[in-house]
Structure 1
């Protein structure tokens, strides 16, 4: 069983998670024999949070409940509240998970939180454009590892900028190995271009009854 933990915090950027959580939770496009996944929301308290889109979300579990093992996945969304000192606990947990071989995905403002902890200083990564991390993170030393792409996958660390949510989702799904290769490529091509031929190609890779 793979457990996907989604950290939730006030002002969470709802749209950045939509592609990846909907596919991992529903399992609709999973290949035969794909590992079972459980998706849980994680908070630093049991209080509900309010997303940027106006949704109220109550965490399923607390940071201390996150299992530090290779089969754990932690997703860190963008938000305007990453500067709050209380968010430091989840970044410490992310560091533990990376060291244990677990998967950590961070997008937009969450990449700055990782950079502030020094976790991007020696690994290929991206964020919201060249110069962004230098601007918001005093002491950032990862310039030599920065890649100007929407999303960058480096083994068990997958980072993305604010415009990279679709590619981020693709790279996370690929890393977990839950889609057939042709399903993932067709799905990504369709949603990145809108061309109908990719939709039909996607449908041909799926068991009867599945849809985009």
Structure 2
């Protein structure tokens, strides 16, 4: 990843993508100086699970790991109903091999499992048997946690995974990975948005 691209995060978009799963992530990245660009299979509009129409900023074949700080993959019905979204899993492999991080939530974790990207990494998802159904070889690395970050090895990019009910924990892992907040503010951010701890707001607002 080049320093000039450090502020660009790419969000994969496709029909039925679960728009609520990355709302915290993209909103707070944008508020903290990052640019979020959407990536589709093509530049044709897609419709989210929530019924929103999204015009991708670029097509998948235009995306390069060197131009990105992070690739985010959300859940969608297509991860479990065919191979339409397989190109995104292959792109995730290219990112990780290039040393650029990837964050996957919900059904996207199954897509990565089918691609073999979870075989040798600590990871989580909705439930362990959901990933086991893919036939992947990484069951021994499954972690019962809200969200998991695996730092990779040998120059590989870090990988964040989470289940569909954990958009706040998913965002926390992304922020920690990218250094958006220091440890104290990251803890406060999570307590505010996950636990509704009003006392955390003052910490976030402090210099």
Q: Which residue of 2 aligns with 1:55?
A: 52
Q: Which residue of 1 aligns with 2:155?
A: none
Counterparts of residues 72-83 of structure 1 (less than 5 Å)? 72-82=69-79, 83=81
5-14 or 76-85: bigger deviation = 76-85
Structure 1 gaps of 5+ residues are 28-35, 206-212
Q: Which residue of 2 aligns with 1:185?
A: 187
Q: Which residue of 2 aligns with 1:43?
A: 40
Cα-to-partner distance string for 1:21-66 (whole Å, 9 max, x where unaligned): 0011122xxxxxxxx5321100001111111111000100011221
SS of equivalent to 1:166: helix
Does the 8 Å contact 1:104/1:157 carry over to 2?
A: yes
Match of 1:18 among 20, 23, 30: 23
**Deviation of 1:71 (Å):** 4.8
Counterparts of residues 94-109 of structure 1 (less than 5 Å)? 94-109=92-107
**Deviation of 1:204 (Å):** 2.5
Cα-to-partner distance string for 1:64-121 (whole Å, 9 max, x where unaligned): 2212238531000011112332311111111011011101000000000000111111
Does the 8 Å contact 1:43/1:61 carry over to 2?
A: yes
Does the 8 Å contact 2:10/2:68 carry over to 1?
A: no
RMSD between aligned residues: 1.5
Q: Which residue of 1 aligns with 2:177?
A: 175
SS of equivalent to 1:131: helix
Q: Which residue of 2 aligns with 1:67?
A: 64
105-114 or 195-204: bigger deviation = 195-204
Structure of larger gyration radius? 1
Provide the rounded CA distance (Å) in 1 between the counterparts of 2:203 and 2:69: 32
Q: Which residue of 2 aligns with 1:85?
A: 83
Q: Which residue of 1 aligns with 2:137?
A: 141
Counterpart check, 1:152 vs 2:157? no
Provide the rounded CA distance (Å) in 1 between the counterparts of 2:95 and 2:69: 8
Provide the rounded CA distance (Å) in 1 between the counterparts of 2:93 and 2:14: 18
Structure 2 gaps of 5+ residues are 152-157
Does the 8 Å contact 2:78/2:84 carry over to 1?
A: no
Does the 8 Å contact 1:111/1:127 carry over to 2?
A: yes
